[in-house]
Structure 1
Amino acid sequence: MTTIAIIGAGPGLGSAVARRFGREGYDVALVARDRARLDALAAELAAEGVTARGFSADVRDPESLGAALDEAAAALGTIEVLQYSPVPHRDFMRPVLRTTHRDLVGPVEFSVYGPVVAVQRVLPGMRELGRGTILFVNGGTAVVPHPDRAGTSIAFAAESAYGHLLHDALAAEGIHVAQLVIPGAIVPGHVRKDPAVLADTLWDLHRTRHGFRHYADDLDG
């Protein structure tokens, strides 16, 4: 078995996905900024029998993100599954009429440059394997823009376009690209948006390899 890299790994969705794929035999590379939290999560997973390691990186820093993914592949093995799911900063969510071009730098670095860097770093390994899965996780503004969340609305739309282009371009190589849109918040105990339920959904997207865009819940739900 090979490795899943979870970019934006934390105690909610990232932790649940690590457990879900870990149960299937995948080693887990946890990528986020906070080294102490990553080490604590890796220790929790190890206690449950999941091989996991933390790799510190800022998705807005291409060099650090690329280096973290290289380090993960060297330590754990070729990255077969990439999940890009960091949580956007609150300051990305400004009303559209108060959003300047400078306000869009962060969102674009976060939701466009970061995914491009990550994909380019793992793609050679996936091609060597002859298989791979790339999972983009976005909020509802990826599909329905919100006037008070201009930064994420614009940047998520661009990330969605990039993912869709990859889906079409890589299918013939055995590399599946999918997007999971999660409207609203991730809610523990929710029938469709509990972290463990979402992790099952992402596992199914990896396993069934069908279509690009999928919804965790109704857009108005």
Structure 2
Amino acid sequence: MTTIAIVGAGPGLGAAVARRFGAEGFAVALISRNQKRLDQLAADLQADGVTARGYAADVRDPESLVAALGGASEELGTIEVLEYSPIPQREFLRPVLETTVDDLTAAVEFSVLGPVTAVQQVLPGMRSLGRGTVLFVNGGSGARPNPAVAGTSVAFAGESAYARMLHDALAPENVHVGQLIIPGAIQPGHPTHDPGVLAGTLWTIHTDRGEFRTFADQLDA
């Protein structure tokens, strides 16, 4: 059995992705900061027949992220799919003229250094399998800078550039890198932004292995 590691796992999109990939036979490693919440989510998934386990880590703490991913690989199986979708913190969502150096430093740690740490940890396992997928999930500011949320706009630009370069560099190794842009909020029951719908889109990105970027919906003009 191989594993999907969901970095930023929670009761919305993370849980939906876990169920979608779990239904296809993947073990699920749930990664976020709160072990108690992870344990509850894992228990809910296990009740639905999904092999799942939680691993507490902070994406701004490289050692904890490496330990979580390493533990998941050892206990659940080699990580074939990495999905990176932690929710940005409030200080990253300030207007550009109110955004400080400290805010940007934290945002870059969150959205650039965190993904680099995660990818470097799981890539050897993907290479050993001869296949893999890395899924990046970003809001609309990942494709179009928004001065109302300057931290994410700057950091998502860096994350997008890193992910796109990975897409080109890893394609010859049968490791697909894709980015899903979700303009606006994730909303249960929404035709394009429902967590289950988005999880299905991520599954399609994984299986179809097409272009680098997919939009859940059109960006506003």
What band does the TM-score fall into relative to the shorter chain? over 0.9
Runs of 4+ in 1 over 4 A off after TM superposition: none
Match of 2:134 in 1: 134
Match of 1:171 in 2: 171
Q: Distance in 1 between matches of 2:17 and 2:55?
A: 16
Superimposed CA distance per residue, residues 97-131 of structure 1 (whole angstroms, 9 cap, x where no aligned partner):
22222221110000000000000000000000000
Q: How does 1:1-221 map to 2 (within 5 A)?
A: 1-220=1-220
Letter in 2 for 1:9: A
Query: How much does 1:219 deviate?
Result: 0.8
Query: How much does 1:214 deviate?
Result: 0.5
Query: How much does 1:171 deviate?
Result: 0.0
> Which moved further from structure 2: 96-105 or 127-136?
96-105
Q: Distance in 1 between matches of 2:102 and 2:47?
A: 44
Per the alignment, in what secondary structure is the counterpart of residue 49 of structure 1? coil
Q: Distance in 2 between matches of 1:18 and 1:101?
A: 35
Letter in 2 for 1:113: L
Letter in 1 for 2:130: G
Per the alignment, in what secondary structure is the counterpart of residue 10 of structure 1? coil
Structure 2 unaligned residues grouped into runs of 5+ = none
Q: TM-score, normalised by structure 2?
A: 0.99
Letter in 2 for 1:112: V
Percent identical: 68
Superimposed CA distance per residue, residues 113-150 of structure 1 (whole angstroms, 9 cap, x where no aligned partner):
00000000000000000000000000000111111111
Once superposed, what is the RMSD of the aligned Cα atoms?
A: 0.8
